[in-house]
Amino acid sequence: MYSKDMTTLYHATFEYYWQSIQKHGLGGRGKSNVWCESNPDCQYLAKRQKDAIRFCSDYPNWQDMPIYVLAINVADLDPNLLIEDANIENGDTKLKDLFEYHGIIRKFTLHKVVKRT
């Protein structure tokens, strides 16, 4: 659940998208979701970086691609555009603290690059 004490949210993406994100912002270049269940009009954010990484790691077609983890300062987001992830069903506690942001995220830092073999 969104709370005012959250300071940072994380988004993980593949190296392939990194240059476009730097240039246009996260979500600024259009629809590039890799999951068919994803809403193409939002950016998915996680309270814990390990959850953000897990979603990228689970995608089977890009197993060798490094994952870029972006840290987003919650204060830079419009709270009216941040909602709980609608894809989470049945109160799955393993998938709590996931959010949708219905806007373009222009301010972020590259928090970590996860190399995979």
**Local structure of residue 20 (DSSP, 8 states):** H
Contact 96, 46 (CB under 8 A): no
* Per-residue pLDDT tens over the stretch 82-110: 988 876 665 554 556 889 999 999 998 88
Contact 48, 109 (CB under 8 A): no
The verdict on residue 57 lying in a domain is: yes
The verdict on residue 89 lying in a domain is: yes
Burial of 6 (0-12, 13-18, 19+ CB in 10 A): middle
pLDDT of 86: 73
CATH of the domain at 42: 3.20.170.30
Residues in the chain with pLDDT values less than 70: 1-4, 29-40, 60, 87-96, 116-117
The verdict on residue 1 lying in a domain is: no
